[in-house]
Every structure is written in structure tokens, then in C-alpha cells.
Structure 1
Amino acid sequence: MDIAAAAPAYGDALLARWNDLASFLTPSQREKWWQRLWSSYSQRAFHNLEHLNRMLLLFDEYKDQLHERYATAYAIFFL
């Protein structure tokens, strides 16, 4: 899938997830990190926005079985 085409499809959902996960940060800090994440994922061929979205869907499926939900969610965004 073309990254440019994927961005609108995933953008709002990914941003909402990020804002929820990073709710302890100030709004400006959340925005700064979101821009950095968005930029990084938008430039990637494989670990791109589509991949990030798929990983978060798997997270939703298995989150009740995880002992470290927040650590896992952060790992999805940052690894």
C-alpha cells in the first residue's frame, strides 16, 4: 500500500491512540513526539503507518493477556 494513501486512513486513529498513551505529557510535548513518530513512519518502506496500525490492532486483540500493557504499547510506537 502506498504510504501517502495509508496516511489519511490511519492518521486520526493513530493520533488518538498516541494522545491516549501519552496523556501524561503536556499537549506540546505530545505534539512534538507525534510529529517525530509520524515523520519517521512516513519515511519507512516496511515499518510504516500501515505496519504500525496492524501492530496496534494485534495489541488490541491480546492486551488482556499482557502483563506490561503500557510498555508494550510504547514498544510498538518506538521500535
Structure 2
Amino acid sequence: MSVSHPVSAPAPVPVPVPVPAPAEGHSVPTETPECEASTTHGISTPEAVELHTAWPGWIPLLAIMVMVVCCIGFAVGRIFA
């Protein structure tokens, strides 16, 4: 059994956009370099290695479990109040 794929058309050629002349007293902005294109460029800080093992895995789970038990207890208490 053969699979036939539709013939795709060639990619359209982009049409160059004319650059408008700068207004009097204004300059044309330059293109942002690729290395600076991100909005978070230069503001991230590396995480310290000590933070990788700062909390044992059971402590966050215990905190979540306490919050869940409190919420369920509150809901049940509201039902029977």
C-alpha cells in the first residue's frame, strides 16, 4: 500500500518592505541584536547548588497535606455547622 502526499507549493518569496525616510529630528531605530532580544536578557541569576538539597522531599509534601486536611476539615465543618 502506498501513501500519496499532496504536492506542496514552493514557499512564497518575501516581498521587501520599503523603509520610510526618517522624520526630521528623529532617527531610525536599529534592529535589536539577537542576543538581546529576550525580555529577560541579563536579569536571570544562577541557582546556588546548596538550594538543590535545601529541603528534604517530604517537607513540602507535608505542608501540602496539612493545607488539604485543613481545607477538607473546614468544608466538612461548614456542612455540619
Does the pair score TM above 0.5?
no
Structure number with bigger Rg: 2
**Higher relative contact order, structure no. (Cα contacts within 8 Å, ≥ 6 residues apart):** 1
Between structures 1 and 2, the one with greater helix share:
1
TM-score, scaled relative to structure 1: 0.24
